[in-house]
Amino acid sequence: MRADLIIDGMIYGETTVRGMDASDAIIAMVRHLSRDDLNGILLHGSVIAGYNIVDLPRIHQKTKLPVISITKEPHEDLQTHLESTFPSDWKTRWEIACRNGPIQPLTLNTKSTVFVQFIGCDWDTVKGVIKRLTRFGGVPEPIRIARLLARVIVTQQTGV
């Protein structure tokens, strides 16, 4: 989505629930787009699909794009949840989560507060991008549209 909120492209990708492939899926989608006018990657959280942890620095390194992750609530007790759910690889998941950097609160013009992690840009840029893309509520338009599309896809795949 462009800064003026015009949708000029979409792509769909999948990750494994409880897997370790979220970052690879995002990198593959960016490469598949094969566009030179992308200015950044905006994600709805860095912990997705049943604790499939997104590696923000790796995505930034591979795509050379700034990466911003936004969520409504930070993951409380993430390390404890990882330890109990993934006894064999919780340390790897936790290391990725730690590499993503601190989770910073951001109060939007709509008075909603979101929590942000980012790499490849500065805090003022992050604030400006998120505030500019959030027209109402607490979700930037690109994420709101992606969630709508995901619901349609899941409904079609599952029949629910």
| Domain assignment present for 81 | yes
Tally of structural domains, the chain:
1
Against a cut of 0.85, is the pTM above it?
Answer: yes
Instruction: Mention every residue, 6+ apart, whose C-beta is less than 8 A from residue 143.
Output: 42, 44, 70
CATH of the domain at 110: 3.30.2170.10
Q: How far apart are the first and last CA of the chain?
A: 28
d(CA 27, CA 30): 5
Residue 87 lies in a domain: yes
The DSSP annotation for 13-48 comes to ----TT-S-HHHHHHHHHHHH--S----EEES-SEE
pLDDT of amino acid 62: 98
pLDDT of residue 93: 97
pLDDT tens for each residue of the chain, 160 residues long: 777 888 888 888 999 999 999 999 999 999 999 888 999 999 999 999 999 999 999 999 999 999 999 999 988 899 999 999 999 999 999 999 999 999 999 999 889 999 999 999 999 999 999 999 998 888 999 999 999 998 898 888 887 7
Q: Which pLDDT does position 103 carry in this prediction?
A: 95
pLDDT value at residue 70: 96
SS3 118: strand
Which are the contacts of 45, defined by CB distance < 8 A and separation ≥ 6? 54, 69, 70, 71
What is the rounded CA–CA span in Å between residue 115 and residue 76?
A: 12
Three-state SS annotation for 61-80: HHHCCCEEEEECCCCCCHHH
18, HSE (Cβ side, Cα atoms, 13 Å): 8
- The dihedral through the CA atoms of 37, 131, 14, 47 has a sign that is positive
> Which domain range does residue 133 map to?
22-158
Q: Tell me, yes or no, whether 47 lies in a domain.
A: yes
Q: Is residue 10 part of a domain?
A: no
